[in-house]
Structure 1
């Protein structure tokens, strides 16, 4: 268990400039002592509304918690300093219905000991590749537990630990302005190549993970997610039952539109893929109300119509907590083309997962808001998303990814991995013939 030192601080915003002067040797000595094993601040905030990190997942307490208060459009100003611009915009867009039930903060994010050990090792070896298009010197680890810049923080999010292999029956939904929803059903399989306990950095072959999606209509998609996507773009294939052929997807990156234009390819997982279109700035750390411990979204769900309401998901099934987050701001580089001129990510300090992302158009106007409803998967253990919700503030429509199928089992982390052999174009073709 982490030994927590008594640290007196008079400021809740951690200065990035103070981190730049810290040597890697100092970082190594601090992890698991004056920092958590993944680089977070272990101590409580000044009024104890954010508790100290204990290194334990007290899910029994989470289940017994009741809301402390609810943030609405009527009282939003009282909490404005702990909200993102996107959250504020949702209150203004849906003043009668959007709410944030706030619960006691529980720092339940814990990870396998090997992740802590590998992260500590990485402090001496991890470094960004040229232009930040990738990194080297880390495996099965958070490469930059004390980031010196925005790119390092972003890579922590991209390679955060989510298990070794998962299978997830899931529903995706597009919800129109009036609340009408259109659904798609699939089963996703993901092999996290970067997190194989018996693997190594030398065996990665530039592949972070393999992703396979089998849809109820007989179509399928296969992705090989490359680490350095500037030198070797993401590899993707699709199978269409009408053609009975596997075809290479020519473009599946950056702002390629996905799902009726409600998210881009690099919106998936809150942010993924090559970071080279943006200048990434680490703004510092602040306290923000973010979705956390959303265990109810993992339970047997009521009718989808009750969960997916006009404008946003039903607030009664959500849980928000006050947590410290890293704020990472990406501004589009001169000469680069993307529908987002700016995107601001709010990364949970304990898990490095992006909980909220605010996206701006090329005129500087807030356009879209992405929200990951984080939950604790104690059996793994990890903290990861349940539902990812992508809001278009202009149209009033939204897209939900990751809804558990009511009639089937939930996400499984404990199934036997089929190995890399299942994640090939030839394998995709064989699945299509079944």
Structure 2
């Protein structure tokens, strides 16, 4: 009898593991729009009054903004409240991540965090909010958390206490439907020297096409296409990515075009901890966008919710009045052009599973509660030492509207170098979300050569 009972337990556990995890109750979902904002953040401010209540976010472009051009800073007249430095670090360290503290210790004379009034500008279109309400009652994790189903185009799990669901909220968050951008990336060396790689990037978020009603049977999250404009030795090269939702079912598909050889080839290893050449190994494939791809190599837990000073409403950091030479300094970007605010964040942690391989043994992520962007990523090596610290300098793209990164910065604490993505200060224009979405054939491998040819 005991043996039979054990077999039944194993059977039901296996059955549960291979099927969907149920969504929240109707009573829990009903808190959206009452005590919770439509995407799940708390509506109320904090008790101290240093974090305000959410009142709809930023949805209107300020005077003078033109679509596709650099953003006008709606808070240019805000006065700095104070600046966190190495000298006063102990006063504020309870509201900082381990990575931020490590940057103060690594660069005590130059690293600073200028703090401004907190503005809860996160926003999205109403149809995204409506879809999030649907998802709260219907979306489910599948395959031990390796994917999700029954979701429309929105945050799949707006009401959650699950770390892996929070991670999926980041991966599948709303960032418009189609955008095209000219931008550069750079690795800044110990001495402050750098070289730029400029590219044009295009992305279609298939999960949000047709207001999130697209059939998900194709297992696609987005198409991504990038081709290099400079330097001359790399110009014409291109990369195409088909990002899948369930990567245990269908792995990410990627192709590269070499302009010199005029050949398109599959790029089979563009996932997990594969090093990204343009970052000189500072950034791994899955640390792009702070985290992407399948969460299946880690066990994820919720550490809790905290009030942290995080990069927010960073319009000055990519303004055309700021040159790359002014912005890119030895050790870190110039703090004078950054804006940080006190916000509530979810803190989750991933520990490498037994039998899995990755250069990061542990990852701790800080997710903005209002938008589900991972805004800080602290990543640890196999010895348990903090190795990489990455930051997304968020701002509201009010023309969409959505909250997304202005710059992504990846610090290698051991190598004392950093990598920056999305530099567009010296471009004539920035990302444009207003163009018509190309046909799917535009993002097929057969069309890649035409896109990348010099």
Query: Does residue 227 of structure 1 match 2:245?
Result: yes
Partners of 1:194 and 1:204 within 8 A in 2: no
Partners of 1:169 and 1:405 within 8 A in 2: no
Name the CA distance, whole Å, in 1 between partners of 2:196 and 2:424.
Answer: 12
Aligned to 1:113: 126
Name the CA distance, whole Å, in 1 between partners of 2:214 and 2:354.
Answer: 34
Query: Does residue 340 of structure 1 match 2:357?
Result: no
Partners of 1:129 and 1:135 within 8 A in 2: yes
Partners of 2:236 and 2:453 within 8 A in 1: no
State the TM-score, normalized to the length of structure 1: 0.93
Query: Does residue 321 of structure 1 match 2:341?
Result: yes
Partners of 2:29 and 2:159 within 8 A in 1: no
Partners of 1:191 and 1:419 within 8 A in 2: no
Aligned to 1:166: 179
Change over 3 Å in CA distance of 1:75–1:405 after alignment to 2 = closer
- The equivalences for 1:303-318 within 5 A come to 303-318=323-338
Aligned to 1:194: 207
Q: How many residues align?
A: 415
Partners of 1:174 and 1:182 within 8 A in 2: yes
Aligned to 2:26: 25
Name the CA distance, whole Å, in 2 between partners of 1:266 and 1:277.
Answer: 11
Shift of 1:28: 2.0
Aligned to 1:356: 376
Change over 3 Å in CA distance of 1:119–1:163 after alignment to 2 = same
Shift of 1:203: 4.3
Aligned to 2:41: 40
Q: RMSD value over aligned CA atoms?
A: 1.6
- The equivalences for 1:195-214 within 5 A come to 195-197=208-210, 200-214=213-227
Shift of 1:204: 5.0
Aligned to 1:264: 284
Name the CA distance, whole Å, in 1 between partners of 2:304 and 2:92.
Answer: 19
1:245-282 deviation per Cα after TM superposition (whole angstroms, max 9, x unaligned)? 10000210000001211110000000000110000111
Shift of 1:198: 5.2
Query: Does residue 65 of structure 1 match 2:78?
Result: yes
Aligned to 2:269: 251
1:142-165 deviation per Cα after TM superposition (whole angstroms, max 9, x unaligned)? 111112311000000001100000
Change over 3 Å in CA distance of 1:127–1:98 after alignment to 2 = same
Unaligned stretches of 5+ residues in structure 2? 1-20, 63-73, 230-234
Shift of 1:283: 1.6
* SS in structure 1 at match of 2:30: helix
The structure with the largest alpha-carbon Rg is 2
Aligned to 2:11: none
1:12-68 deviation per Cα after TM superposition (whole angstroms, max 9, x unaligned)? xxxxxxxx9994211221101111111111111011100000013288762221110
State the TM-score, normalized to the length of structure 2: 0.89
Aligned to 1:373: 393
* SS in structure 1 at match of 2:168: helix
Aligned to 1:126: 139
